[in-house]
A and B are shown apart, each in its own frame.
Chain A
Amino acid sequence: DAGVIQSPRHEVTEMGQEVTLRCKPISGHDYLFWYRQTMMRGLELLIYFNNNVPIDDSGMPEDRFSAKMPNASFSTLKIQPSEPRDSAVYFCASSLSTGFEKLFFGSGTQLSVL
């Protein structure tokens, strides 16, 4: 398996623009997690899905952020409109289950909002 695949690897956009980050989890994994990492706040859990259903979105910072998982092999994290403080590395991770199974992380998307 190719692992968790995220795209794009880098995104540079201007304030106010819509940004869409994409994630393909490992085939067969039924949990998917979105994280955001900054120097100030560290690695934050934004939202996670089980069998394509959002379970906990309490980490989503504002209504400007939304995440979807239309099927088992694809998820998106959208920011609309984007702001400079959204600049961070966004990671997607998947696992077979959680509590006792390991997470597999993608390489991340480096987002810069100017």
Chain B
Amino acid sequence: DAKTTQPNSMESNEEEPVHLPCNHSTISGTDYIHWYRQLPSQGPEYVIHGLTSNVNNRMASLAIAEDRKSSTLILHRATLRDAAVYYCILSGNNNDMRFGAGTRLTVKP
């Protein structure tokens, strides 16, 4: 199964943009790239996903490298409520959704 690599932790200042990287060098052509986040004491929640093209929604933007071996989740203006663990996941032909360790984002006021 293709795996992802993320930094263990990142810090950001409130109201500034945040770029969360994810490496997935063994991604296959049919793998979708998903991002979820988990707020303290809650279950994970969906953030965004994409296949090849960059994606935008009300929560974030997903920038996918041309070779698809990496992607970046962009929070345009971090708030204190964005402090969470962010997970980058690949879903492939076997249709399982396996979470890695994720990146713990700290937002400083």
Q: Are B99 and A45 in contact, CB atoms less than 8 angstroms apart?
A: yes
Within 44-72 of A, Cβ neighbours of B (below 8 Å) are at: 44-45, 48, 50, 55-56
Q: Are B46 and A104 in contact, CB atoms less than 8 angstroms apart?
A: yes
A99-B92, A100-B91, A107-B42 as given contacts; A42 in contact with B36, CB under 8 Å: no
Q: Are A43 and B44 in contact, CB atoms less than 8 angstroms apart?
A: yes
Within 22-76 of B, Cβ neighbours of A (below 8 Å) are at: 30, 32, 34, 36, 38, 42-46, 49, 51
* Total count of chain B residues near the partner, CB < 8 A: 25
CA distance A65 to B99 in the complex (A): 20
* Total count of chain A residues near the partner, CB < 8 A: 23
- Chain B residues contacting A43 (CB-CB under 8 Å) are 38, 44, 87, 99
A103 within 8 A of B: yes
| With A45-B97, A98-B95, A100-B32 already in contact, 11 other A-B pairs whose C-beta atoms are closer than 8 Å | A31-B95, A42-B99, A43-B99, A48-B97, A55-B96, A56-B94, A93-B44, A98-B91, A102-B34, A104-B46, A107-B42
